[in-house]
Amino acid sequence: MDKKAVNELLLNPDDFSDADLRMLIERREYEEMLMTQADKIRREYYGKDVYIRGLIEISNHCENDCFYCGLRHSNKNIERYRLTDDAIVDCCSKGYGLGIRTFVLQSGEDEAFDDLRVCSLIKKIKTLFSGCAVTLSLGEKSYETYKKFRAAGADRYLLRHETSDQAHFLKLHPKNQSAEKRKQCLFDLKSMGFQTGAGLMTGSPHQTTDHLIKDFRFMQDLKPDMIGIGPFLPHKDTPFAKFAGGDIFLVLRTVALSRLMFPKTLIPATTAAGASHPMGLELALRAGANVIMPNLSPHATRKLYALYDTRPNAAEETTEYLDKIRQRVSAAGYSVNMDVGHVCGA
């Protein structure tokens, strides 16, 4: 396709055929045009704003055994921890002092954080820190549990679908997990009024372009409010230790496509994107990302929350990190916005 035709095509993302998506996912020669158009659309909806979310990794215990993840249950080489409720509130307090207005509670699938405990945490955080949003990222739960979380005041929920193709899903997860269950959870969350985040790893083992096309079609059904995309990165104590890490440019093309096809979504410049390339953060912003999630977890536990081998900034102070983020964001032509930053139209 000549460049003029591609530029034309990029103006009508709702009409992308599978062949169009394949070309835009696979071909690097259109990457620049794709990113430029994504940046234009992002500015139309969100201006230059980049929203900040404080990430708190509340537990690295996990009952699941995902083949790619360092927190998997079978990994015996990991020191497990759980933050106390007081420690979690402390993290929020520190973040609130820095101006952060969204707290993301993330963990492995850990039954110790039962409904009662999570609901009491949500209520505590929402009461103590006025005007803040609470985002949960605690994995697959029952409809009833999600309902309770929502009633307790949680605003958003992140649950990457990982891959919408069941056969591929089974190459990434043991048989007790399924793509169908994951998708059902996402539809449940949406139906309850959670701002709902889906997402995936690009370059995960056995992933093909067909899978990615299917992921976009699934997201067209779901209409997520947030889309998290990062490259797969190997972890030495997993069955996927020997697989190569995903390439940042495929992340950029899928982020840009997400921005075009779902213009209102909040899209993070993911930690994994930042870890896989020195300019990963800036590049992701240029491709249409508009969220950054600095880590508010206590220093002692940060290195224990290792999903993959490379993690940057593990030892950095949040204050310094936030200053650095501000500088990098402005140098890239955007600006940090510390507001609660709900999804466009929410």
Which residues would be at the binding site for ligand 5AD (CB under 6 A)? 68-69, 160, 162, 201, 230, 232-233, 235, 272, 307-308
From CA 25, how far away is CA 14, in angstroms rounded?
A: 16
Distances (CA, A) of 82 to 10, 86, 126, 314: 46, 11, 21, 18
Q: Which is nearer to ligand 5AD, 232 or 334 (CB)?
A: 232
Smallest gap from residue 146 Cβ to ligand 5AD (A): 17
Smallest gap from residue 235 Cβ to ligand 5AD (A): 5
Q: Which is nearer to ligand 5AD, 46 or 68 (CB)?
A: 68
Give start and end residues of each alpha helix (H) in the chain. Answer: 3-10, 18-26, 31-46, 85-97, 115-128, 143-152, 166-172, 179-191, 209-222, 248-261, 271-276, 280-286, 299-302, 318-331
Q: Which is nearer to ligand 5AD, 126 or 173 (CB)?
A: 173
From CA 265, how far away is CA 13, in angstroms rounded?
A: 14
- What secondary structure, in 3-state letters, does 58-91 show? EECCCCCCCCCCCCCCCCCCCCCCECCHHHHHHH
Q: 259 is written with which tokens?
A: 């921005």
Smallest gap from residue 252 Cβ to ligand 5AD (A): 16
Q: Which is nearer to ligand 5AD, 51 or 68 (CB)?
A: 68
Smallest gap from residue 230 Cβ to ligand 5AD (A): 5
Smallest gap from residue 309 Cβ to ligand 5AD (A): 8
